[in-house]
Structure 1
Amino acid sequence: MENFITLKELAKQIESIINLNFNNTYWVLLEIQKLNLYRTGHAYPELVEKDEKTNKIVAQMRGIIWANDYLYIQRKFIQVLGSEMKDGIRVLAKCIVNFHPVYGLSLRIMDIDTTYSQGLLEQERLLTIKKLQQQGLLDANKQIPFPLVPQRIAIISIETSKGFSDFVGVLANNEHCYSYKYTLFPAVLQGEKAVETITEQLKIINLKKDFYDIVVIVRGGGGEIGLSAYNDYSLAKAIATFPLPVLTGIGHSTNLTVCDMVAHYSAITPTDLGYYIIDKTLEFENMLLNIGDKLINTIKQKQNNYKEKINNTRFLLLRNITSQLYAYQSNLDKTINTFTQLTNAKINKSSITLIQIINTIKYQFISALEKTNNLLKNYNFSLKTNSKNIINIENCKLDNIPLILRHKSKSHLNYNLLRLKQINKLIPINLKQNLSDIKISLNKAQQIIDLSSPNHILKMGYVMLKKDNIIVTENNINKNDTIVLEGYKNQMEAEIINIEKK
């Protein structure tokens, strides 16, 4: 065959055609599937376009970013987007079409429109927020009660991070001398590995959640670089659904990341976050102090009330005891008077009875004598008028009459004397019995008086209030008076500060 060309000649023709027809720059929408950055500073990214519905690759080319262009683009990326270029990012790139006989077709990327990338990132951020809102997770972590004293802290950071050292330094050097215990769970804080490592550490902390009060994510020293990881849906969801309050201090001053939005609390810097935790502890201390002050005031008030009640009760008791003493004394006087009257009455009654008996005997004796005298007169008269026989009979009777009279009078007198002796015997017995009863009543009255005596009351722990050696009452006490509190063993002085009327 005579009509053929070499591969090199074909490649040269293709190169000249491409150079002739694609000699301008083009803004191309593409995805950097893999950046492929080399030590020389050059990058050879794999450029693709994917179908939006099936996510299948529909176009693919090799890219070239020379070292100078890469530094320029990377600096621009960081300034505008707050993150570096990474695998899987979609960009609007300014490109030149190149063809090399050995390396083939490629696109040289000279610049990237960060405004477009910024819009895409913002769209992803808003989409993440929308998904969390639809799932009811945007405020889920905020609903978890914050511990009264957050002392056990799980920190997701890295030991070499300035944010970590600032945070623990604030906690360790707080002016209130609060003590905090923390455990570091190392993680990559920015870049491609940030989402994966932070999420993994959250899972580990979840297994030990009973040993911690809160979780803190802090970073610092990187400015706005690498914040796009904190808009990731999977990381934001992990924070929102975490069973402990999650606090963030990832060091930025612009718009909040999604992780900041779903966190229980977010601070601009780790230092601010440290002060927030100290303030929470201070709030608890102040709450305890307020409760303590209220408790002390309540106790003092109750003590004053009880003291007032005791004083009132003591006064009423003293007044009642004094009144009872007067009553007992009055009753005792009445008892003694009654006893005296009863005794005198019984003696008088016994004397009257004896006199009556004597008078009765005397009267009966006189009556008998009068009857006898009358009979004698009658017999004498009959003797004069009747016969001698009758005189003899009457004389005989007259002889018997004195005997009868003497016998009768003596018998009656003996009977009355016997009664008088019996009455005389009963008088000492009744008098002794009455005296015994009165003695028992007096002993009981004496016991009551002893129990109610001031010395006995003072032995019970009470005190007697005196002013100028006179017992204090409501009517003889004034403000600023000096009174003596007299106890059983001790004597004290006090001054009346205030007198309140009921």
Structure 2
Amino acid sequence: METISLSRLNEFVRRVIALNFDDPVWIVAELLQIKESKGHYYIELAEKSDQGDIIAQSSAVIWKPNYGLIKKSLSADIFTILKEGNQIKVQVLVDYHPRFGLKLNIQKVDESYTLGKILQQKIQTIDRLKKENLWQINRTLELPIIIQNLAVITSMTAAGKIDFENQLMSNPFGYQFRLSYYPAAMQGLQTETEVSQAIININEQEVTPFDGIVIVRGGGSKLDLMDFDTYQISKQIGLSALPVLIGVGHHIDESVADMNAFASLKTPTAVAEYIINHNRLAEENVIKTMESIRFYGSQIISTYAIELRHIKESLNTSFINIKYTEQQKIIRYKNKLYNLVQQFIQNKFTTLLQLDHKIKINDPSIFYQKGYSLLFQHEKPITSIHELDLSDPMITKLKDGSVLSQPIKIWQNQKSN
């Protein structure tokens, strides 16, 4: 058997490939990795089985001159297509170098294939959330009337964090806010895991209850926005007991997380304005309520003042009528009392006359004038012989004097038949 050198073998392989793949071919594969160096993009492509195992893998490259042509040919952001994890369809020239091996030189990119896959993945994610009753559940929650205490998920070095914080804290109304930061990657492979875990940690917080959750980042490409299309982030938004306000800095496209959150704003600054306006609206409602209370209070006071005036006038009229009626009663009572007093006096005068007559007819001097006398013993008048004591003297009073005598004998008057 003939022995050949490695270079000869590789040259033979090169010729076979060149002979069989002299024209570009279209292939579909998953983009495992992409790196840039001096304007060239080095890519790892793979095909996986249904179980997720890699069954084929090759290196590919987009040379700098070709990168510009491909970018111009795409309507979407090139990195929306060329993102790790995406299924892509590319036209390649199969090139084999005896030293560097097989290399696929990418000539064209079919964006419709990848965008379709991305859209399909978004639809599948939304359908899954709906089946699990986690789709837009967060939108049924309510923010408190006044927002003060917020949990903020963001990258601590991102410009979006600074924009959000400055806009919120320097509001012209003097509203005060308490912000608690939960750091997380806002782009790249760790975004899904870190953002999801941050939402879980916030909802498990018991010491400081939050009014809501804010997720912000500063700007970014459509490629970066795809990190918020993942299932886990939207799942945790659906499970959250707190309203989630999201502003991930993209003015055109909308992620699954945007659609599933309580409120989606385009930028961190817009999220801050949303919160400020929420509190401002609450303050205006309080002011309007106070003004309404003051207005209706004035109306009520005015109404009651009129009623009181009518009551006063009615009372004055009633008082005059009552006063007149009572005065008439007093006059009648006075006249009646006068008549009663006159009658009483007349009756008493008549009684006095009668008593005077009795006194006069019973006056002893009158008895004496008629020849009668009064008999006393022991200084007591004697009206019967049975009252006399024969052992003691007695006094007989006459009209012009008294006689002291001693009773000798007592006899009783004879009753005539």
**Normalised by the shorter chain, which TM-score bucket?**
0.7 to 0.9
**Counterpart Cα distance in 2 of 1:328 and 1:170:** 84
Question: In the alignment, which residue of structure 1 is the partner of 2:32?
Answer: 33
**Cα separation, partners in 2 of 1:89 and 1:358, compared to 1, 3 Å:** closer
Question: In the alignment, which residue of structure 2 is the partner of 1:117?
Answer: 114
Is residue 84–residue 191 contact of structure 1 (8 Å, CA) maintained in 2?
no
TM score, norm. by length of structure 2:
0.74
**Cα separation, partners in 2 of 1:310 and 1:138, compared to 1, 3 Å:** same
Question: In the alignment, which residue of structure 2 is the partner of 1:276?
Answer: 274
**Cα separation, partners in 2 of 1:75 and 1:165, compared to 1, 3 Å:** farther
**Counterpart Cα distance in 1 of 2:78 and 2:119:** 10
Is residue 164–residue 269 contact of structure 2 (8 Å, CA) maintained in 1?
yes
Is residue 77–residue 221 contact of structure 2 (8 Å, CA) maintained in 1?
no
Question: In the alignment, which residue of structure 1 is the partner of 2:396?
Answer: none
Is residue 140–residue 240 contact of structure 1 (8 Å, CA) maintained in 2?
yes
Question: In the alignment, which residue of structure 2 is the partner of 1:216?
Answer: 214
**Cα separation, partners in 2 of 1:160 and 1:11, compared to 1, 3 Å:** closer
**Cα separation, partners in 2 of 1:82 and 1:64, compared to 1, 3 Å:** closer
Question: In the alignment, which residue of structure 1 is the partner of 2:404?
Answer: none
1:107 paired with 2:107, answer no
Structure 2 counterpart of 1:15, which letter?
Answer: R
Question: In the alignment, which residue of structure 2 is the partner of 1:267?
Answer: 265
**Cα separation, partners in 2 of 1:358 and 1:194, compared to 1, 3 Å:** closer
Question: In the alignment, which residue of structure 2 is the partner of 1:158?
Answer: 155
Question: In the alignment, which residue of structure 2 is the partner of 1:132?
Answer: 129
Question: In the alignment, which residue of structure 2 is the partner of 1:189?
Answer: 186
**Cα separation, partners in 2 of 1:262 and 1:182, compared to 1, 3 Å:** same
**Counterpart Cα distance in 1 of 2:70 and 2:238:** 34
The superposition leaves residues 200-243 of structure 1 with CA deviations (integer Å, 9 ceiling, x where unpaired) of 32233223364321111122332534111111111111122211
Q: Using the TM superposition, give the Cα deviation of residue 110 of structure 1 relative to its aligned residue in structure 2, in angstroms.
A: 2.9
The superposition leaves residues 170-196 of structure 1 with CA deviations (integer Å, 9 ceiling, x where unpaired) of 323333222222233332222323222
**Cα separation, partners in 2 of 1:322 and 1:41, compared to 1, 3 Å:** same
Question: In the alignment, which residue of structure 2 is the partner of 1:96?
Answer: 93
Q: Which has the higher strand share?
A: 2
Q: Which has the higher helix share?
A: 1
**Counterpart Cα distance in 2 of 1:141 and 1:4:** 71
**Counterpart Cα distance in 2 of 1:94 and 1:33:** 17
- Give unmatched runs, 5+ long, in structure 2: 374-417
Is residue 27–residue 92 contact of structure 2 (8 Å, CA) maintained in 1?
yes
Question: In the alignment, which residue of structure 2 is the partner of 1:450?
Answer: none
Question: In the alignment, which residue of structure 2 is the partner of 1:176?
Answer: 173
Question: In the alignment, which residue of structure 2 is the partner of 1:227?
Answer: 225
The superposition leaves residues 28-62 of structure 1 with CA deviations (integer Å, 9 ceiling, x where unpaired) of 11112233x2645555433221233x333333333
**Counterpart Cα distance in 2 of 1:138 and 1:81:** 30
Is residue 223–residue 252 contact of structure 1 (8 Å, CA) maintained in 2?
yes
**Cα separation, partners in 2 of 1:108 and 1:81, compared to 1, 3 Å:** closer
Question: In the alignment, which residue of structure 2 is the partner of 1:499?
Answer: none
Structure 2 counterpart of 1:56, which letter?
Answer: D
1:252 paired with 2:250, answer yes
Is residue 92–residue 112 contact of structure 1 (8 Å, CA) maintained in 2?
yes
Is residue 74–residue 84 contact of structure 1 (8 Å, CA) maintained in 2?
no
Aligned residues: 367
1:46 paired with 2:47, answer no
**Counterpart Cα distance in 1 of 2:102 and 2:272:** 55
1:198 to 188, 195, 199: 195
2:285 to 284, 287, 292: 287
Structure of higher RCO (CA pairs closer than 8 Å, 6+ residues apart) = 2
2:144 to 141, 147, 151: 147
The superposition leaves residues 255-307 of structure 1 with CA deviations (integer Å, 9 ceiling, x where unpaired) of 42111111101122333322221221122112212222233345445545665
**Cα separation, partners in 2 of 1:81 and 1:343, compared to 1, 3 Å:** farther
What's the Cα RMSD here? Answer: 3.8
Task: Give the secondary structure class of the aligned counterpart of 1:211.
Answer: coil
Task: Give the secondary structure class of the aligned counterpart of 2:222.
Answer: coil
**Counterpart Cα distance in 1 of 2:306 and 2:333:** 35
Question: In the alignment, which residue of structure 1 is the partner of 2:164?
Answer: 167
Structure 2 counterpart of 1:227, which letter?
Answer: L
Task: Give the secondary structure class of the aligned counterpart of 2:285.
Answer: helix
Structure 2 counterpart of 1:134, which letter?
Answer: K
Question: In the alignment, which residue of structure 1 is the partner of 2:82?
Answer: 85
**Cα separation, partners in 2 of 1:82 and 1:147, compared to 1, 3 Å:** farther
